Each structure stands twice: as structure tokens, then as C-alpha cells.
Structure 1
């Protein structure tokens, strides 16, 4: 591990102050110092830097009887615009945000899950961004940066999609390809890192420091935070829970192994389970993954017995796989996100909760929560926007790692 320097600590302090403003809203310097645990002098210096770059503005001035007027500070949403992009095997979802990460516009483009040429994917990303920018009425010159989440193993420092198994991508320089067609800085990362950052900032991370954010879609994975820090691993590949073993010599997985969690909980895995239950079920006629999952949800609403059995088996697979994750990490919170989770959570979550005591060690079970994500909008796009905000501040000389959350308030 690289030795931390005084400059690293100053950068972390700056981002703690900014994150505190996301949590608290308009705040005085004294309130920011109490919330972050930083000294008043440190907060005053950081606020001066932010004001000079237009990142903050004075919202109000409060006149206190017998004391000096106090400025209440806020992030200036008009400082610029940031785009967060969620790229999956079946779609590209783009959102334009202001600097407070408020949504201004949205665009979505469907992708053919069987088409894997990088130029095809890049074109879809560009079209989704253009749609979001048009929807928000945003001038392109005001965009400070674009954050793009890519499925599979991503090396953000090099801007490379190292391995995307569903597309059979190997070492695709996706950031370079995007910067050729987008006239703004681009940052790429993995969706598991984006969703856990969203939860750390805007979801369950406001009340717990350690968590797993489980993403269910075409692929399956878990974003992980421990003691307030996002876990990346040695090569940014931490969280590939979908490629841990659920059943020895089980179903083939797209990663090349057999019996992976993803082979049972990814959207193609759900299709395989339904085919085992009823090979002639009409829902299997849905060729697109998202259409299939939405049809499953509609059939569950109607009480279809085969689909109820599908939900039961899937919840058992999920509970067993989550049990391994919780036993390994001793985390108090599991949050479900992703489009499959959104469609099926009301059937899966109660069944998973009922099954978990059979899979989690008693010492890790007490206080364990399993909930659907409450982060508004697209959590992947929001997380990528937060990463991109960090990159923007770094270019100003004000940045720090976004994968941490502020220390809790000091004891009174």
C-alpha cells in the first residue's frame, strides 16, 4: 500500500466537507466542522478554496444577536453539468446532473444484447448522452465531464474494459474511444463501484458504514463498503460475487466456470430455471431479457403457479448466496439494486429474509437487514456522476478519493 502524504489528507478533508454539504444541505462553517470532525481552521481554509473556484456559494447570511454574522454555505448547482451513464448489455441509460447532483435530463437507448462490437456500444452511449442533454435543455459547453459505467472488469486508471464476458471484450480502450467522439473529459468504472458509492452517499450508507449492494440484471455482482471505504481490490475487481460458487458442477456460466451465482440469479439464469419448471411456458417466448423479467413480474401479479415456483427457487438461490457473502464479511446491511431487483423485489425480498437464518451464522444474523435500494433514479448513473465530480475537483486541485464517506460526528 502506498504511503499516505499530507497532500492526500488535505484532499480527503476537502471531499469530506463537500460530502457533508450533500448530507446537511446549506450549512455554516461551524456546522461543517462539527459534522466532519475537522478543525474550524481547516474547514475555513477549504471553504475559501471552494468559494474561489465557484464550487460553493453563500446561500444566506444570518445575523446572530451579540455575535458576528454567519454565512450559510451551499454547493452552487450552476457551476456546471455532469453526465452519469449506465451501460449494460441491453441498454444505455444517461442522466444529466447539476453540481448538486440534481437530475436535469434523461435519455435511454436499447442495445441488442447479441451485438458486441465496441463501435456499436460507443454509438449507443453517444446517442443516450445526446438524448439526455436535449431532454435537460443543457448546453454542451457547460458539461464538466462524463462518467461511464461499463459491465465486467474495468481498469479506471487506464480507461480500459479489461474483460466483459457477455461481449467477449478483452482490453478495449473504451475511455479513449469515447473521448474521440465526446468533447469533454471521460471517466470509466465498474457499476458495482458506482452503486455502492450511491448507497454510501444517498442511501443506507447514511446510517451504516459497512454494506453490500447487490446488483441483479444480466450479470450479478456486489459493491462492497467496509468501515466507510469502498472496496476495489488489487485490480478494481472486488465484488465479483456473481462468479463465486453456488453449486459444484452446476450450470455453465458465461465466465467459463460452472455453478456460479450468476448462472442462477442473472436474467438468463432465471430463464433457465423457468425452462426447468415448465419448458413450454409462454413467458419463455420473450426474447429480450428485460421483457422477460417484466413478463415474470406481471405473471406473478396474476398468480401464475410456474412463475411463483420460479420466484421461490430464485429466492432460495439468492438467500444461499447472500449467506456466504454475509458470513465472509460480517456486514450488517444488504441492499438490492438493478433492473431485475426493481421488477421482482416484492416477491424476492420477503422470501429471502425468511430463508436467511438457514444460511447465516448466528453471530452475523443479528441486526442484518435486506432491503431494496431507496436511492432515487438510476443508482449506477448517480454513482458515476459522483466519481466524475471527484475528477472535476481533482482537475481544479481540490479532489480526493470519492470512495470514502465522512467520519461520523464526534462524541459530544
Structure 2
């Protein structure tokens, strides 16, 4: 039976369930009385929907709250144990796989360094598959897997002819890699669930918008600064995605004509000046010596050096970064810019005051006066947390139903 505008009773039921689940997930615990005005549903609909969700184990009671002279009201929340989620970060130096409950409490993790083979596709696919198997084996008490989200460096498109998500990762040598099809070919038993592949900066952005420094903003840019540089652009509460799911390649905007060589093959990209790899290269060229340390240790050494050479490199980095952020301010008029990623969080406490000054110097005064520049709050696990929010958002949008296919379009960034 069809409802208004062609919607069926089943569609309306899913929408009502989704509305209740989302409200309780982001604002709960709430009573049934509070859910009515919060969702716009009638008291009868609230009673019906919550009854179904409680019976299915998707909701649980979370105590009582007093009422004005009446009986105490029961609070409800989304049950953390109603399912499990996996987030994967295909990073610059490692593959990280984490298993979470629905409340995004970590249950297990596995990490694999990317060494001699680098980002060889077969190696990365094998490590992801091993990680999926490892985290599920390490937490056998975890309930039914709702989906797997994967953050990757590069642009992601959906191509049914190639089995789903295809990755264009120019900086790591991936050209139209059918990652979803490859993973489905080697995934361990029990992982035939929705699979979501997205740009890593966008998964980080989703995590910071839901739970971190982006909360409450309608227009923001979440910047990922690691070995390379990326961003997630939020406009009117949603991630801007362009024709493919990778818009936000801020690191490959041109900062300097005929400038430094970038990993993407072009010259003068922002990434070639403010990515951790580039910052360390500039330090070496100026006479600095990071020794045999890995990239993270070397960047920490640069920040702790205190000599004039290191100081000059950091001062220049702050100016380059401020100029890059000014471009974001002028283009998107965000109310908030969040610096995240392992290198951004490492450099941020020392460079942030100067970065803010340089942003104001290079941006137009009106939008700059209305934008703040802040550090991310979720640490270096933000990409995996954000990746796990992709199947979580699909689960909430579907009203708590379970299926084995992810939709062709990405989940919304906003809760």
C-alpha cells in the first residue's frame, strides 16, 4: 500500500524507526515523552516504534527520570551491544583495523606497517583481510557485524561494472583500483556485510563533525595533515563530494608556481610544503638532521630542536599553512577550520597561534573574522572512527535493518 508521494507503509515505518534511532543516538538517553517533539511523531507512533526496537534489542532502558508529580519516566538509548562495526584506515605508513560496538567503544584493533611493499595493492588488500579476521577473532563476544568502513588516500568512485568502489590514489600509485571487488574476493567468512569505501580525510571529517571539534558547525573544513594533506568540506551540514567521492583534495591546490615537486607528480602543491614528508625534506635541505628516525619521531625532533634552522622551517610552515587555510576561508566561508591528522595534531600546539595570524593576513577580512581555526579532538584514530561511522550511519538511516549491500552514495556527515 502506497502512502503520500508514492511512499509505502514500509517506507514510512523505516523513516519513523530511523528518526527515533538517530535522535536517541545523538541526543539520548531520552524518554518517550521527549521523543515526540524531538522527532515530530505522535505518542502512538513513538510507543509503537520504541516497542519494536526494544523487542529487537536495538534499544535498551537507561534508568528513570522524575516527572512533575507523575510517575517517573523511563529513559531509552540505543543499545551499545546491538551490533558491531569495523573501521579501517589505509594510512601512509600502516593499515589499521578497529572493531567497535555501536557506541563506538573500541573492542579490538590490529595494525600492520607498510614497509618494503608500500601501498602495493595486493599487500594492502591482504592486510585488510587479515585485520578483519584478527579483530573479530580477538572479540568473539561482539554481536552481529553491521558493516565495514574503509578510509583510503585518494578519490573514490562507485562503478557497478567494476564491483563497486574504485579508488584513484595518484600519490600512492593506485590507478582505478577496484578495491571493493578485491576485498570481497578475499574477505574472511562472516564479513559479507555492507562495505563502504571513502576518502580518508572525509572519514576523519565525519568523525570530527559527529564527536569532535566540528560538532555544532554547519559550514566547516576538517583538514587532515599527515605525510600528505587532505580535507573534508562541510556545507550546510553535509560533506561536499563532487562527481566522485573525493572532493577536498586541498593538498593538491597550487601554492607556488613551478615550486617544489609533489608526490602527485605536479609542482607547487600545498602538500609539498606542509605535509610531514615535505616539512622534513625542507629541514634536511636547510641543514637539519632527523637521523634514522621514522617520520613521526623525526617531526617530533624538529619541533623540539629549538635551533635557528628548525625555527625558520617551522615559521615558514606556519605561513604556508595559514595561506592554504586562507584559501579555504575565501572559497567556502566556513565558520570553523579543524586541523587534524597525526602531523597536524603534532605540529598544531606549537604552530597554531602563528597559523591563525597568517590566515588573517592572507584571507579576506570579512570571512576571516567569522572563522575559527582549531585542533581536532579525536586523536590519531579519527580516520578509523570515521570509517566506522559510515556503516553506522547506514544502519541508523535504514531504521536498524540489516542488509548485505551498501548504497551507492555516501552516508551523510551530519548526525
TM-score (structure 2 length as normaliser): 0.85
Work out the CA distance in 2 between the residues paired with 1:13 and 1:209.
24
- 2:270 aligned with 1:267: no
Q: Who is 1:355 aligned against?
A: 358
Q: Does the Cα contact within 8 Å between 1:284 and 1:292 map onto a contact in 2?
A: no
> What is the CA–CA distance in structure 2 between the aligned matches of 1:37 and 1:207, rounded to whole Å?
21
Indicate yes or no: 2:391 matched with 1:391.
no
CA contact (8 A) 2:61 2:76 kept: yes
Q: Tell me what 2:342 maps to.
A: 339
Question: Residue 345 and residue 35 in structure 1: after superposition, are their counterparts in 2 closer, same or farther (change >3 A)?
Answer: farther
**Root-mean-square deviation (Å):** 3.0
Summarize the Cα distance change of 1:167–1:355 in structure 2 as closer, same or farther, 3 Å threshold. closer
Q: Report if aligned partners of 2:155, 2:247 keep a CA contact under 8 Å in 1.
A: no
- Return the offset for 1:285: 4.4
- The residue that corresponds to 1:177 in the other structure is 182
**Number of residue equivalences:** 396
Instruction: Note closer, same or farther for the CA distance 1:28–1:140 as it changes in structure 2 (3 Å cut).
Output: closer
Give the superposition deviation at 1:298: 2.8
Q: Which residue of 2 aligns with 1:24?
A: 27
Unaligned runs of 5+ in 1: 407-412
- The match for 1:318 among 303, 316, 321 is 321
- 1:110 to partner: Cα distance: 0.8
What pairs up with 1:3-152 in 2 under 5 angstroms? Answer: 14-35=17-38, 43-44=46-47, 46-61=49-64, 64=67, 67=70, 70-112=73-115, 115-133=118-136, 135=138, 137-139=139-141, 142-152=144-154
Structure 2 CA distance, aligned partners of 1:213 and 1:12? 30
- Secondary structure (helix, strand or coil) at the match of 1:378 reads helix
Cα distance between partner residues in 2 of 1:16 and 1:156: 27
Counterparts of 1:163 and 1:190, CA distance in 2: 10
Match of 1:202 among 178, 195, 211: 211
Question: Do 2:149 and 2:387's aligned partners in 1 also have CA atoms closer than 8 Å?
Answer: yes
Q: Structure 1 CA distance, aligned partners of 2:17 and 2:116? A: 41
Q: Give the match's secondary structure for 2:234.
A: strand
Cα distance change of structure 1 residues 16 and 373 upon mapping to structure 2, 3 Å threshold: farther
Q: CA deviation at 1:75?
A: 1.0
Q: Specify every segment of 5 or more residues in structure 2 that has no aligned partner in the other structure, as ranges.
A: none
1:45 Cα deviation after fit = 5.3
Gap change, CA 1:42 and 1:387, over 3 Å in 2: farther
**2 CA distance for matches of 1:248 and 1:309?**
22
User: What do residues 66-118 of structure 1 show as CA deviations (whole Å, max 9, x unaligned)?
Assistant: 54663311111112211111111311112211111112222211112753321
Match of 2:171 among 163, 166, 171: 166
Which TM-score applies when normalising by structure 1? 0.85
The corresponding residue for 2:225 is 216
Match in the other structure for 1:247: 256
- Matches of 1:5 and 1:308, distance apart in 2: 64
Contact 1:219 1:266 (8 Å CA) reproduced: yes
Alignment CA distance shift 1:364-1:92 (3 Å): same
Q: For residues 386 and 163 of structure 1, do their structure 2 counterparts lie closer, same or farther at Cα, with a shift above 3 Å needed?
A: same
Task: Report the CA distance between 1:341 and its aligned residue.
Answer: 1.2
Contact 2:290 2:301 in 1 (8 A): no
Alignment of 1:363-378 (within 5 A): 363-375=366-378, 378=381
Q: Counterparts of 1:76 and 1:376 in 2: how far apart (Å)?
A: 25
Report whether the alignment pairs 1:258 with 2:282.
Answer: no
- Residue matched to 1:410: none
Do the aligned partners of 1:160 and 1:171 also contact (CA within 8 Å) in 2? no
> Structure 2 CA distance, aligned partners of 1:6 and 1:202?
33
